[in-house]
Amino acid sequence: MDKKLVEQITSRSEDFAQWYTDIVRKAELADYSSVRGCMIIRPYGYAIWERIQKYIDAKIKGTGHENVYMPIFIPEHLLEKEKEHVEGFAPEVAWVTEGGNEKLTEKLCVRPTSETLFCEHFAKIIHSYKDLPKLYNQWCSVIRWEKTTRPFLRTAEFLWQEGHTIHATREEAEKETRYILDLYSELCKDVLAMPVIQGKKTESEKFAGAVDTYTIESLMHDGKALQAGTSHYLGENFARAFGIQYSDKEGKQQYVHYTTWAVTTRLIGAIIMIHGDDDGMVMPPRIAPIQVIIVPIAQHKSGVLEKANELKDILSKSVRVKIDDSDKTPGWKFSEYEMKGVPVRLEVGPRDIEKNQVVLVRRDTGEKTVVPMDNLENQVNSLLDKIHDSMYKKAKDFRDNNTHDAFNMEQFKDIEENKSGFVRAMWCGDAKCEEKIREITGATSRCMPLKQEHISDTCVCCGKKADKLVYWGRAY
């Protein structure tokens, strides 16, 4: 055991960035390696990713999506086929220039994203309208050569799923894009207890090569925004660049409509920054690798370990439960599992056994309840649900309390300087205003929410007529 574990971590108010790094290290979610910008995802962190994978994989397979695996490398000429796309990605790719002791004749980039590979393949396998749609997904790692990195939030390598689907019509492709946005939102709400704003990116913030980029945006505890997932409608741009055509029912050649969408290991960073507190991680119950930790009290006394194991067996039917019967003190164990954010601690000692009861302690609120041992499985399960709901509500209240409306630049500046969080303001649609807002306040447009409200008639920046409500914020 790392002895530093129960030492205090930096508090959020003292240094939020350091607090974040402390949790990542001390809750054993990730570690650094000697590889620049790349992280090691440790068992406890990887188990979270596996649960995210399982949720998404089951949902998309249930709606006809299939997993495939594309090469890790993209030859330079292939990356360059779609103009906007290569402009967006070229500055941040890693290049393989030597292989098997020889210099390569064409350099290969390690995939930053796989549109070009999917499109080359689609062009080969699509002939007729009968071949459509193709609903593909890939689980893999990608490389973005970032200058400054932080575990989970921004790393040179990260894990993700990338969906790539092609359709006969624009309508069908747009429906897919929105279906996935809803799926991501449900993942966040129902599994990660994380409220999100669904919206559309402005022209300047959208994905390199997309017609429309949809996003889910969430608010971290330091008041900064985080893009938690994106779903793009790419129109016919890639189809034209790669020649992905099909013959329709009338035998006419048509270009396919393309969508791509992704969520990444970044979500683990979001979970930390939304739910964590000064004692460490607070895991949303449905994603928690351990949901209940049983800590036997006075475990050397006759019958305690037996009873603790008996309770474990009962709970393990429906709950991810672990027992810590090591020789550490109960107090040490309490701190350790608080750091790891285990949602419920179950304490059981000789006096509890006598009274046929156990003590349940919530990680999120610290609340203790003494409950009878009978019907324990149901009680624990409903407590886990209750914790989920209450964590979601707390995060949503925080976000709502930190979302401010601005009607002119004075107000906007005042919010950025004296408060934090999302700013809601009307925008005329001009990229110059977006740019000016960024210069003056440091905030960028996060999204145009799908649920639009008309809070004023004029652009917060230029004062001209405006009909778009935009969420703004400083972002990760």
Distance CA 340, CA 348 (A): 20
Nearer Cβ to a second copy, position 97 or 302?
Answer: 97
Kindly state the smallest distance separating residue 233's Cβ from a second copy, in Å. Answer: 23
Q: Quick one: DSSP state of residue 363?
A: T
The C-alpha atoms of residue 118 and residue 110 are separated, in whole angstroms, by: 15
Q: Got the DSSP string for 170-196? A: HHHHHHHHHHHHHHHHHIIIIIT----
Rg (CA), the chain: 25
| Beta-bridge mates of residue 361 | 345, 368
Compute the least distance from the CB of residue 387 to a second copy, in Å.
25
> Smallest gap, in angstroms, from Cβ of residue 426 to a second copy?
37
Beta strand 422-427 pairing with 403-405: parallel
Nearer to a second copy, 85 or 201 (CB): 85
Q: Which two tokens stand for residue 407?
A: 């009607």
Q: Does 131 bind a second copy (CB under 8 A)?
A: yes
Among 12, 26, 85, 121, the residue binding a second copy under the rule CB under 8 A is: 121
**Token output for 450:** 């799908």
Give the span between the Cα atoms of 321 and 114, in whole angstroms.
39
Tell me which DSSP letter residue 11 carries.
P
**What six digits make up the tokens of 54?**
């399982």
Supply the minimum distance, in Å, between the C-beta of residue 49 and a second copy. 8
Q: How far is CA 192 from CA 272, 387, 476, in A?
A: 10, 12, 19
Closest CA to 132 of 258, 222, 42: 258
Strands (E), 185-281: 197-200, 212-219, 225-235, 245-247, 253-255, 257-264
Pick out residues in 46-85 that bind a second copy (CB under 8 A): 46-47, 49-50, 66-75, 78
By CB under 8 A, is residue 283 in contact with a second copy? no
Q: How far apart are CA 204 and CA 210, in angstroms?
A: 11
Of 151 and 449, which has the nearer Cβ to a second copy?
151
Residue 243 interacting with a second copy (CB under 8 A): no
Closest to 262 in 3D by CA, of 167, 176, 150, 184: 184
* Interaction pattern, residues 81-110, with a second copy; x per rule: CB under 8 A: ---------xxxxxxxxxxxx-----xx-x
Q: Cβ of 102: how many Cβ atoms within 10 Å? A: 7
Least distance from C-beta 253 to a second copy, angstroms? 18
Nearer to a second copy, 182 or 313 (CB): 313
CA distances from 237 to 133, 194, 319 (A): 17, 34, 47
Residue 1 is a binding residue for a second copy (CB under 8 A): yes
Please state the closest distance from residue 437 (CB atom) to a second copy, in A.
Answer: 28
Candidates 40, 370, 440, 450; binder of a second copy (CB under 8 A) is 40
Between 198 and 245, CB nearer to a second copy: 245
Site track 145-174 with a second copy (rule: CB under 8 A), x = hit: xxx--------xx-x---------------
AA letter at 186:
E
Among 5, 11, 16, 38, binds a second copy (CB under 8 A): 38
Distance CA 80, CA 86 (A): 5
Euclidean distance between CA atoms 56 and 49, whole angstroms: 11
Q: Which helix (H) or strand (E) holds 284?
A: none
Query: Minimum distance from CB of 409 to a second copy (Å)?
Result: 35
Q: Counting every residue, how long is the chain?
A: 476
35 binds a second copy (CB under 8 A): yes
For residue 44, the minimal CB distance to a second copy (Å) is 9
d(CA 295, CA 432): 59
- Shortest gap between Cβ of 99 and a second copy (angstroms)? 4
List 23, 29, 117, 193, residue binding a second copy (CB under 8 A): 117
How far apart (Å, rounded) are the C-alpha atoms in residues 177 and 380? 37
Q: Which range in 37-45, 198-206, 372-380, 449-457 contacts a second copy by CB under 8 A?
A: 37-45
Task: Work out how close the CB of 61 gets to a second copy at its nearest, in angstroms, rounded to a whole number.
Answer: 10
Q: How far is the CB of 66 from a second copy (least distance, A)?
A: 4
Pick 119 or 225: Cβ nearer a second copy: 119
3 state SS of 415: helix
Binding footprint of a second copy, residue count (CB under 8 A): 61
Complex with a second copy: residue 41 or 460, whichever CB lies closer: 41
Task: Indicate the residue among 43 and 372 with the shorter CB distance to a second copy.
Answer: 43
Nearest to 447 by CA among 88, 185, 160: 185
Q: Segment contacting a second copy (CB under 8 A): 32-40, 163-171, 446-454, 460-468? A: 32-40
Please choose, out of 144-152, 211-219, 407-415, 455-463, the segment that lies near a second copy by the rule CB under 8 A: 144-152
CB of 33 to a second copy, least distance (A): 5
**Which residues of the chain form contacts with a second copy (CB under 8 A)?**
1-2, 31, 33-35, 38-43, 46-47, 49-50, 66-75, 78, 90-101, 107-108, 110, 117, 120-121, 124-125, 127-128, 130-131, 136, 140-141, 143, 145-147, 156-157, 159
